[in-house]
Structure 1
Amino acid sequence: MTSLNHDPWTLCDILSEPSEVRGAPLLYFFEGFMDAGSAGQGVVDFLLDAYDHEPVASFNVDALIDYRSRRPPLTFEIDRWSDYEAPSLVVYLLHDSADNPFLLLHGPEPDFAWERFTDSLESLIDHWNIPVAVGFQGIPMGVPHTRPVGLTVHATRPELVFDNRPMFNEVTVPGHMAGLLEYRLGQSGRDVVGLSAHVPHYVMQMSFPAATMRLLAGVEHATGLSLPKDEALEEDQKRVIEEIAAQAEESEEVATVVESLEEQYDSYEEAAENDDMLREGRMPTADELGEAFERFLAEQDNKKNDDKKNNDE
């Protein structure tokens, strides 16, 4: 095991360095922040179950984790302590279905030293010439489970954004490691893509496999990896849909919420089909805003004229 550099305070140790790590894309997911529907954790579980994985780098969790805020499990048997599940923040090397190598960073979100951690990961990215890093998670949204799962794609360069239809213009959220990492790496000119699957807010506390499948498709698009569909995920999603349907039958309140969200979703989709800005997922230009405002005023004038005509009659 060797440190990435000679700084005694370095946070990253290289465990092994097979040739495949150089030039491989990096996927990352940190436990501890928002992950509605366990969508991001589902991606990690799928990848580690589907492919052999070898640890190639690790981070010093003693310098990063607050043990008292999330105490690791310690097992006691009869008259002795028999096991300790130490937290770990590890980079694994995997190969996809076409034998393409990729890296997966997974573990608890650091509690401390965010900037030092970001610097260490940036050094590792440079050392292994990693072309792109991709983070992923589930976020709660006011959407129905009966419609396709939406995806918000964000990146450090506009050219990296794909299949995107923004749901909001600007929002401020609590800081988190995945977001800071994307921001800092973008500042230094590196390519990072973030994927956020839209999970119905009323199922955010339960597993929602459809969001995991949507993230896996997004990872494929962002990296070019070949990740097969998982029949177990599809079966789990069918089970979830059946459970929600049963709850809707038993509760008029649940049924009303779902129906209302379906109407909102369909109205938005219909509007998007007739609006270039919504369909293309971009902000309007000044000219487009002016044209839209002029159309609005014209429609208001027409409405007033129609109302006046009807009153005269």
Structure 2
Amino acid sequence: MLDPAGLYEIIADVDVDDPVLIVALDGFVDAGSATRLGVAALRIGQEPRTVARFDVDQLVDYRSRRPALRFDTDHWAGYTAPELEVVAMADTAGNEYLLLSGPEPDTQWERFCAAVEQVVRHFDVRLVINLSAIPLAVPHTRPIGVTAHGTRPELTEGHEAWFSSAEVPGSAIALMEYRLGEAGHDAMGFAVHVPHYLARAEYPQAARVLLDHVGLAAELYLPTEPLAEASRQAEEEIAEQVAASDEVRQVVDALERQYDAVSSGRGDRSVFGLGGELPSAEELGAEVEQFLAERIDPEDPPTT
């Protein structure tokens, strides 16, 4: 392995002892855009201070995820370069924490994980928490679930285990948690459960749940108010669309019966489908997905 220190540079130090590092990387599954919406909510009203920067030229495959360039009449007028940075942020009570966000590396996963471990040691991070959102066969009318995982059992105490074991596609963020655990660091993550028929739409309710769990684990007061109005609007629009379609209503009814059977101990949790494969449009009620996918511009921030 090449020297991990060649992947990043430390820009500044932080003034807080034993900070928490929240990690949210683009590129892996983000059902309902919950992770993206959560990070956007964290950044509202903030002036993040960059404390470490990774060299994306070594980590990103530009041909698979082409960054945007702006063309103006007869010349190239602008370039939006991808950034993978650690920034210092503050919660609503003024407690400082760190946030690592940007594109998930396409290459050099092991070297990247080793580099993150060095950054964790440099800033004396006490806990790393990564965020994700997965599509499951659950109805939107039931409480939003979360799968918690960590490098020590004590980190996930109080969280119900939804699955005993499963083979899932790898990700840099999951490998990072695994390697940090091997190196003796406390690391954990939350994967919020998003109804699979809403996976391609924005689902701010899931983002709120994700931030609530992260805040409790990190002992931070994270802002969820920016997501409140967006959640209310989404709930109204989902209810409207379900009421307008017998097909969609039947799908939701079936998912409710399945969810209730599992919750009462009368069903197998494997029916929720950890693999994240979306069923057919007919089975899911495709008009719900299409309706919600068009209601908000994916580049818009959460409603404040």
Counterpart in the other structure of 2:255? 261
Query: Which of 105, 128, 133 is the aligned partner of 1:133?
Result: 128
Structure 1 residue 183 and structure 2 residue 172: aligned?
no
Task: Identify the range of structure 1 (263-272 vs 74-83) with the bigger mean alpha-carbon deviation.
Answer: 263-272
User: Structure 1 pair 265/50, CA: closer, same or farther in 2 (3 Å)?
Assistant: farther
Counterpart in the other structure of 1:247? 241
Superposed displacement of residue 167, structure 1: 2.1
Q: In the comparison of the two structures, how many residue pairs are matched? A: 266
Structure 1 residue 122 and structure 2 residue 114: aligned?
no
Unaligned runs of 5+ in 2: 270-304
Q: Which whole-Å deviations, capped at 9, do the CAs of 1:238-295 have from their partners, x for residues lacking one?
A: 22122222222232121011111112222233339xxxxx9xxxxxxxxxxxxxxxxx
Structure 1 residue 173 and structure 2 residue 150: aligned?
no
User: Structure 1 pair 146/130, CA: closer, same or farther in 2 (3 Å)?
Assistant: same
Superposed displacement of residue 17, structure 1: 1.5
Q: Which whole-Å deviations, capped at 9, do the CAs of 1:113-159 have from their partners, x for residues lacking one?
A: 11111111101111111000000111111111111111110000000
2:23–2:99 contact (8 Å) kept in structure 1: yes
1:89–1:106 contact (8 Å) kept in structure 2: yes
2:83–2:103 contact (8 Å) kept in structure 1: yes
CA distance in 2, matches of 1:227, 1:258: 32
Residue type of the alignment partner of 1:171: A
Superposed displacement of residue 220, structure 1: 1.0
Task: Identify the range of structure 1 (245-254 vs 194-203) with the bigger mean alpha-carbon deviation.
Answer: 245-254
RMSD of aligned alpha carbons:
1.8
1:154-173 to structure 2, matched below 5 A, reads: 154-173=149-168
Residue type of the alignment partner of 1:179: A
Query: Which of 100, 106, 111 is the aligned partner of 2:101?
Result: 106
CA distance in 2, matches of 1:27, 1:118: 15
Unaligned runs of 5+ in 1: 1-6, 273-277, 279-313
Counterpart in the other structure of 1:19? 15
Q: Which whole-Å deviations, capped at 9, do the CAs of 1:18-51 have from their partners, x for residues lacking one?
A: 333x511000011011010111111110111143
User: Structure 1 pair 189/117, CA: closer, same or farther in 2 (3 Å)?
Assistant: same
SS where residue 10 of structure 1 aligns?
Answer: helix
Counterpart in the other structure of 2:228? 234
Moved over 4 A (4+): none
CA distance in 1, matches of 2:5, 2:78: 29
Superposed displacement of residue 221, structure 1: 1.4
User: Structure 1 pair 254/95, CA: closer, same or farther in 2 (3 Å)?
Assistant: same
Query: Which of 182, 204, 208 is the aligned partner of 2:203?
Result: 208
Residue type of the alignment partner of 1:108: P
Residue type of the alignment partner of 1:127: H
Counterpart in the other structure of 2:287? none
Counterpart in the other structure of 1:219? 214
1:134–1:219 contact (8 Å) kept in structure 2: yes
More helix by share: 1
SS where residue 214 of structure 2 aligns?
Answer: helix
TM-score (norm 1): 0.81
CA distance in 2, matches of 1:9, 1:110: 16
SS where residue 240 of structure 2 aligns?
Answer: helix
CA distance in 2, matches of 1:189, 1:223: 18
SS where residue 207 of structure 1 aligns?
Answer: coil
User: Structure 1 pair 28/251, CA: closer, same or farther in 2 (3 Å)?
Assistant: same
Q: Which whole-Å deviations, capped at 9, do the CAs of 1:174-202 have from their partners, x for residues lacking one?
A: 11011111111111111011101110010
CA distance in 1, matches of 2:215, 2:4: 38
1:11-90 to structure 2, matched below 5 A, reads: 11-20=7-16, 22-90=17-85
Residue type of the alignment partner of 2:265: A
1:153–1:162 contact (8 Å) kept in structure 2: no
Superposed displacement of residue 8, structure 1: 9.1
Q: Which has the larger radius of gyration?
A: 1
